[in-house]
Structure 1
Amino acid sequence: MSMAPTSPLVERRAEKAVATALEDTRVVLVEGPRQAGKTTLVRKFVNDQRPFLSLDDPAILASAKNDPVGFIRNLQGAVIDEIQRAPELMLVIKQSVDTNTAPGRFLLTGSANVMALPTIGDSLAGRIEIVELFPFAQSELLDRSGDALDRFFSNEPLRVADAVVGQDLAELVSRGGYPEAIGRKDARRRAKWFNDYLTLILDRDVRDIATIEQLEKLPLLVRLLAEQSGQLSNHANIASALQISRATVGRYIETLERMFLIDTLPPWFSNRISRLIKTPKHHFLDSGLLAALRQFSPVPPQADPDRFGPLLESFVGAELRKLIGWSEARVTLSHFRTKDGDEVDFVLEDQQGRVVGIEVKASATLRRGDFSGLRKLEAAAGDKFVRGLVLHDHDGLRPVSERISGVPVSVLWST
């Protein structure tokens, strides 16, 4: 299997969304994790009316924080990188775009969810469009259509091609989607990059968006979450292990979410089934980072399916989150689990309430029990159930009922 391309020539699906938003919206914010490619993307929109200003530059940051009104006052527009480093600029930008309502004046990037900051709130409501940019999706790297969600919700048979299996799949998952990490062929060098990346974020970036009383606990929390990725959240156990309160664990996890390191998956529920677990799950938003934290070596996955399973599940979850980000259909992502232990890793639900269930298995062989959670979800969703898929380490399609099939993981990016 050849390495996916990693040059800046990879077309980002978010670029079209940004260009469209700048045509009719006063402020556009591109947000996502550090090193996902936000700066590369927004530099394409720099011009004489929108100069590039990076708040990672100490002199520019000092100017913005010391005199935010003066910083913005003389700008016709600007591309401002890493806006979370000076959130006080947001209120001044609001005043500026209320005075001059021309579209496309400010293009911002944020490596944190700045709209969730208490000082910002809804101040830019009606004036801002947010475009998410995550690390590369496989459909971007392979220049595919990226319309998997539309196909999942259609009644058409799924196309399965270019299956990635065995060691190739393990290597794909352990690389993740960050451009810098993908470019490192040596697994040890990738792990070094991920560890340095995490240290930078937890040592510096956290301070921009949150007040953390015991900063030294954060790396330990991240590693605990890595060991529990894909499992039901248990704040009490984490609090006990770290010797902090459950409330503090909740605040710390919320901070990691706002920095796009982890994703909290709420439970899906239905009145048809009363015995449902209502506990969320946490997933890492990049399987490469999770692989580094868990010190996973991409041996053939059959040799260690218990270690590979959580990584593959996070990989699929991240791919789904990216597909949702650029889909025109508004789709929510959740998980399904009954008190009897039947579960579905991911539940996609559109605005009409239609449901697609996705279960992830690291094995090449599927057994009858692997479909039990999807059957329970089908019963709970009734006629709203469109299809159920078990994504696994195999290259073929295996129908088990009219609406439930086993499919290769590559169904997420097959054309």
Structure 2
Amino acid sequence: MSYTRRIIDQELDDLFAEVAALTLDGAKAVGKTTTGEQRVQGLVRLDSKAVRGPVAAEPEIVLRRPRPLLIDEWQKVPEVWDVIRRAVDDDSSGGQFLLAGSASPQGEATQHSGAGRIGRLRMRPMTLSERAVVEPTVSLLELLHGRADVQGESPMALPDYVEEIVASGFPAMRVLSRRARRFQLDSYLRNAVEHDVPEQGLAVRRPEAMMAWLRAYASASSSTASYSQILDAATPGHSEKPARATAESYRQVLASLWLLDPVQAWAPAGSPMARLGQAPKHHLADPALAARLLGLDVDALLGGDGHPLRPESGSMLGMLFESLTTLCVRVAAQAAETEVAHLRTRNGDHEVDLVIVRPDGGVVGVEVKLAGAVGATDGKHLRWLREQVGPRFIDGLIVTTGPMAYRRPDGLGVVPLALLGP
């Protein structure tokens, strides 16, 4: 099969020629190995016992392989990190080592951070633009530079977005039938809890308890629910709940597997805004995982007439659509060298779903709306943000499921998610 370039490929093109060693971090099945293989001559697969044994006995053996070299699942022999770091100390010329890891080693597995020697890039599941469902017409990079055209037409309607939510951004799963895809997503989650988590050093006596916690986390997608609320939702009616420390260990180990991908609250330096909430907004690595945990497929999310079964504000479909939007925005924002946060005042008066922050403090605000059209009151939080930050406000977008991208009289852009690209 021919390789489909990902947004991160441009980052690798820009960086790997000059940086000696780069790590691709991300959940299993996002495509790290396939992407890494496109630019190397040597490959060491540490998920193979036959390869892992000799490398564990003598980590320096990896340096005998041809370069550029990809070391896949490097965390299974974490000592190779220091081997690569020392090799880069000796020779810092660009384009030597790529490391791919689907987990962060725990404890003291890596003795040195690698700062200044090994760069790190986060790789996430495929965005809509990477899935090539529609050719995007609105560039996030151009928006961040204040010169974007907001125009274009999208053929996608709400049922198409629902299909993309459940289809997942895991490349190998997208080609499967619906039944096979559901089976593989279920297997992915079970393997994570029953195999990957113990490999991270956490003994799970009751895997079903962790699955219940994950299910509760999925139900909190795109919300700022407290971890106590998530724990309560995971154990309804139970008089004996897992200790809070146990639930925290769940969170930490699942985050180390890159399965949790929360958006942190925005804390702007020197801002006149006060009383901003600090809680993260919860997201799983892929909204399809949340849908499977909750038993939601296309038919469960849509009625027979193609409309949401629960159209009220805060419906699960709306939360999953926001997760899909967040995935698409984060991948494009990383390529543009910007950070993504969210904003919510402590009393809940104002909330901006996503705030994309340039290194100089300039911001693009994004509100997500599960609708094909917007009204006059939509965007009020973006207008509030514009008033608060003044000239630091570069642009504001309302992301929808509608057919048209256009600029409103108040200056805000309305953009169907399918038309938003890097």
Same fold (TM over 0.5): yes
2:52 is the alignment partner of 1:58: no
- Equivalent positions of 1:300-339 (< 5 A) are 300-305=306-311, 306-327=315-336, 330-338=337-345, 339=347
Q: Which amino acid aligns with 2:325?
A: V
Mean Cα deviation higher: 315-324 or 201-210: 201-210
What amino acid sits opposite 1:265 in the alignment?
V
**Cα displacement (A) at 1:113:** 3.9
Residue 129 of structure 1: how far off its partner (Å): 2.3
- Measured in 1, the distance between the counterparts of 2:334 and 2:294 equals 27
The correspondence for 1:80, drawn from 67, 71, 76, is 71
- Distance in 1 of aligned mates of 2:195 and 2:39: 28
Structure 1 match to 2:400: 392
Q: Which deviates more, 355-364 or 198-207?
A: 198-207
SS state at 2:152 partner: coil
**Is the 8 Å Cα contact of residues 151 and 405 (structure 2) preserved in structure 1?**
no
1:346 CA displacement: 0.8
Residue range with higher mean Cα deviation, 172-181 or 59-68: 59-68
Whether the 8 Å CA contact 1:161–1:410 is kept in 2: the answer is: no
Identify the residue that residue 292 of structure 1 maps to in structure 2: 292
Match of 1:227 among 209, 219, 223: 219
- Matched AA of 1:260: W
2:43 partner amino acid: F
Distance 1:125 1:304, change over 3 A: same
Q: What are the superposed Cα offsets for residues 256-278 of structure 1, whole Å, 9 maximum, x if unpaired?
A: 22322221212224543323222
Secondary structure of 1:359 counterpart: strand
| Alignment deviations for residues 134-177 of structure 1 (CA, whole Å, 9 cap, x no partner) | 22222223295797222222244312332421212221222121
Q: Deviations over 1:193-250 (max 9, x none)?
A: 1111111222222234343565623222211100111111311223444523434433
* Contact kept? 1:68, 1:92, Cα under 8 Å: yes
Q: Deviations over 1:370-401 (max 9, x none)?
A: 32322222222222112222212211246554
| 1:213/1:169 CA distance change after superposition, 3 Å | closer
**Residue pair 2:103, 2:257 contacting (<8 A) in 1 also:** yes
Pairwise CA RMSD = 2.7
Tell me, which stretches of 5 or more residues in structure 1 are unaligned? Answer: 1-6
Q: Which residue of 2 aligns with 1:202?
A: 193
Equivalent residue for 1:264, pick from 258, 262, 265: 262
SS at match of 1:23: coil
- CA change 1:202–1:97 in 2 (3 A) is same
Residue 173 of structure 1 contacts residue 312 of structure 1 at CA under 8 Å; is this kept in 2?
yes
> Given that residues 84 and 209 in structure 1 are in contact (C-alpha distance below 8 angstroms), is that contact kept between their aligned partners in structure 2?
no
Q: C-alpha distance in 2, partners of 1:40/1:207?
A: 26
What whole-Å deviation, never above 9, does each CA across 1:35-81 have from its counterpart, x for those lacking one? 1112222223342xxx3221111121222233334x34644653211
What does the per-residue CA deviation read over 1:106-154, in whole Å, with 9 as the maximum and x for residues that have no partner? 222111245x864326442222122332222222232957972222222
SS at match of 1:124: coil
Deviation at 1:189, TM superposition (A): 2.5
Asked if 2 retains the 8 angstrom alpha-carbon contact of 1:83 and 1:108, the reply is yes
What is the TM-score of this pair, normalised by structure 2? 0.85
Count of aligned positions: 400
In structure 2, stretches of 5+ residues that fail to align are 236-240
Query: Mapping of 1:65-104 within 5 angstroms?
Result: 65-69=56-60, 71-72=61-62, 74-75=64-65, 77=67, 78-104=69-95
Which whole-Å deviations, capped at 9, do the CAs of 1:338-385 have from their partners, x for residues lacking one?
Answer: 214321111111112111111112123434443232222222222211
CA distance in 2, matches of 1:21, 1:365: 40
Q: Percent identity?
A: 25
Q: Which amino acid aligns with 1:336?
A: L
Corresponding position of 2:419: 411
In structure 1, distance between residues paired with 2:201 and 2:138:
36
Q: Which of 14, 18, 23 is the equivalent residue of 2:12?
A: 18
The 1-side partners of 2:259 and 2:138 are apart by 25
Alpha-carbon distance between aligned partners in 2 of 1:125 and 1:254, rounded to the nearest angstrom: 23
CA distance in 2, matches of 1:346, 1:404: 15
Give, in whole Å, the separation in 1 of the partners of 2:16 and 2:371: 45
Distance 1:24 1:156, change over 3 A: closer
Asked whether 1:126 is paired with 2:116, we answer yes
**What is the alpha-carbon distance in structure 2 between the residues aligned to residue 134 and residue 85 of structure 1?**
20
Q: Is the 8 A contact 2:85 2:118 kept in 1?
A: no
Distance 1:152-1:285 versus aligned 2 partners, 3 A rule: farther
CA deviation profile, 1:7-37 (whole Å, cap 9, x unmatched): 5431223334335544333322222221111
Q: Does structure 2 retain, via aligned residues, the 8 Å contact 1:33–1:134?
A: yes
| Number of the residue aligned with 1:373 | 381
Aligned equivalent of 1:140: 130
Between 268-277 and 223-232, report the one with greater CA deviation. Answer: 268-277
The verdict on how the C-alpha distance between 1:278 and 1:149 changes in structure 2, with shifts beyond 3 A counting, is: same
Q: Which amino acid aligns with 2:310?
A: D
TM-score (norm 1): 0.86
Equivalent of 2:391 in 383, 387, 393: 383
> Which secondary structure state, in structure 1, belongs to the residue aligned with residue 282 of structure 2?
strand
* Range with bigger deviation, 390-399 or 288-297: 390-399
Query: Are residues 301 and 277 of structure 1, via their aligned partners in 2, closer, same or farther at CA, if it must alter by over 3 Å?
Result: farther
